[in-house]
Structure 1
Amino acid sequence: MKNILIINGHQKYGSSSGKLNQTLMDSMVSLLEKKNNIQTTIIQNGYSIEEEQQKFLWADIIIYQTPVYWFSVPGLFKTYMDEIYAYGLFFKGADQYGSGGLLTGKKYMFSTTWNAPKEAFNDPTQFFKGNNLEEAVSHLHRVQEFIGMQPLKSFACYDVVKNSNIDQFVYELDVHLEEVLNF
């Protein structure tokens, strides 16, 4: 039985109410709570810095459920990281820059929602110049590496504005979680 923290990083943006990200988070909780201890955070609903830090220390696995806005996490989610990822608790100074992460032994996974179509990835003629999903979010991986965590394979829903198929997205996420978490 693992301790899993699931964080919903959605931030209301224009007409985006966050239904898809909340649905994906709810599906994760439903699937994973059968064999794991689960805690959740919905950043948009507010949080206590100290409570969030304790959740990270408690967790074996952190799952970030987030939309991708302008090729990164929403501003509120970035503020969350700025406030929660504390020196002396999540990382410390080290002789070699980036080697002072204190959350070693913990794993994380990004589950992201994109307006970009799947075809925009892995094709050198498309926008991401042949980069795959992991390369497209490498800057987000670097943050987690800095605090000592190890990545699990990321998941993504593509083309969510024009071709949103929530039932298919939930199914694909369930398959991904079963594969990545081996349960």
Structure 2
Amino acid sequence: MEQKTVLIINGKDTRYDYVAKGDLNTFLSDTAAGYLKDKGFDVLTTSVADGYEVRDEENKWKQADFILFQFPIYWFAAPAVLKRYIEDVYNYGTFYSSAPEYGRGGLFKGKRYTVSTTWNAPKEVFGNGDSFFNGRSVDDVLSAFHDTQDFVGLTKLPSISFHDVIKNPDAPAYEDQMKKHLDTIFDR
């Protein structure tokens, strides 16, 4: 069987280091990288807060069969540092081109992605019509992020999210959940 490559993008942001330093997102990125390497995948990584070169990132994306985005949620979206990465790296001619129909010029068709997010929001506020999110799921709240990936041609795999991570962190449980998630979506 052909060797598969996963690109893990750690979108941690240290802007709010007085509350969260990005350690959990790094832990989850590292957990995924180690686990997937043990399963025989080639693993490429980027930690956007540590800096990156656009051409290097383009090459990683071209090599990758799967992309795993790991990031915290700030104000109901990806952190600014990850948004900046997307704006820097998702360039015309490499990630997308013109197409007869708007949004159908993605050049990464055939590549799949998953999103792993950390939230201070508790899990029970999602999918509950009486809660803050009015019944929306995590993926509903992140629809603009998913639209961006669709625009460049990626196919969405199931997402995973970790909740109440500031008040009630449970890294050992998260590690186990991440491994089970990876087994489900990357089952070869």
TM-score (norm 2): 0.95
2:10 is aligned with 1:5: no
Runs of 4+ residues over 2 Å off in structure 1: none
* Residue number among 20, 23, 28 corresponding to 1:19 in the alignment: 23
Residue identity in the other structure for 2:172:
D
Shift of 1:45: 0.7
Give the match's secondary structure for 2:33: helix
Shift of 1:44: 0.8
Give the match's secondary structure for 1:100: coil
Q: CA–CA distance in 1 between the matches of 2:84 and 2:139?
A: 22
Counterpart in the other structure of 2:35: 31
Shift of 1:5: 0.3
Q: CA–CA distance in 2 between the matches of 1:49 and 1:9?
A: 15
2:170 is aligned with 1:168: no
Q: CA–CA distance in 2 between the matches of 1:150 and 1:50?
A: 23
Counterpart in the other structure of 2:102: 97
Q: Alignment length, in residue pairs? A: 183
CA deviation digits over 1:15-38, x for unaligned, max 9?
A: 211110011011101100121000
Shift of 1:146: 0.1
CA deviation digits over 1:149-174, x for unaligned, max 9?
A: 00010010001011111111111111
Shift of 1:84: 0.2
2:187 is aligned with 1:182: yes
2:67 is aligned with 1:65: no
Residue identity in the other structure for 1:72:
A
Give the match's secondary structure for 1:27: helix
Over aligned residues, Cα RMSD in angstroms? 0.8
2:126 is aligned with 1:124: no
* Residue number among 133, 156, 162 corresponding to 1:157 in the alignment: 162
1:76-115 counterparts in 2 under 5 A? 76-115=81-120
Q: CA–CA distance in 1 between the matches of 2:89 and 2:136?
A: 30
1:42-57 counterparts in 2 under 5 A? 42-57=47-62
CA deviation digits over 1:80-102, x for unaligned, max 9?
A: 00010000111011111001001
Q: CA–CA distance in 2 between the matches of 1:96 and 1:29?
A: 37
Shift of 1:13: 2.4
Q: Structure 1: 5+ residue runs without aligned partners?
A: none
